[in-house]
Amino acid sequence: MFAKVLYNLCGNSPGYMPGIPRIHCEPVKTGCMLIYEDDGIGIPQDKKKLIFERGFTTSPGPTKSSGLGLLLVRDILAITGITIKETGVPGVGSRFEMVIPPGKWRIGPVE
C-alpha cells in the first residue's frame, strides 16, 4: 500500500511543477521522517488544512480530480501510525512530511 502513497504524491506533482520531485529521509525524535518535496506552485496557506479532506481538489479547469487522492494517502498511512502533513511554502513548492514511528522502520537491507 505504501507504493500507492508514493504513486499518488508523484502523480499530483507534474501538473503543478516543471522539475522532478525529491524524496529523502531524516531522523527525528519521534521516529523517522520521510519527506516528499517538489518545486511547483505549492499549496496556498488557506488550503493546507483542506487538502486531506474528501472531495477537496486544487485541480484547475474542467478535468478536476476526484479529491480522494490525499484523503486515501492519509488513511493508508494512518493504518500503521504514520502521520502526514504538508509544510511547503506557497509559490516555492509542496513538502509532505511523513513521520514513521519507532519500531515501524529500519535501516539496512530487507531480510
42-68 pLDDT, tens per residue? 888 998 888 888 877 766 655 556 667
Cell 531480510, residue? 111
The whole-model pTM stands at 0.76
Q: Which amino acid is at 35?
A: I
Vertex 73, ends 70 and 74: CA angle to 5°? 90
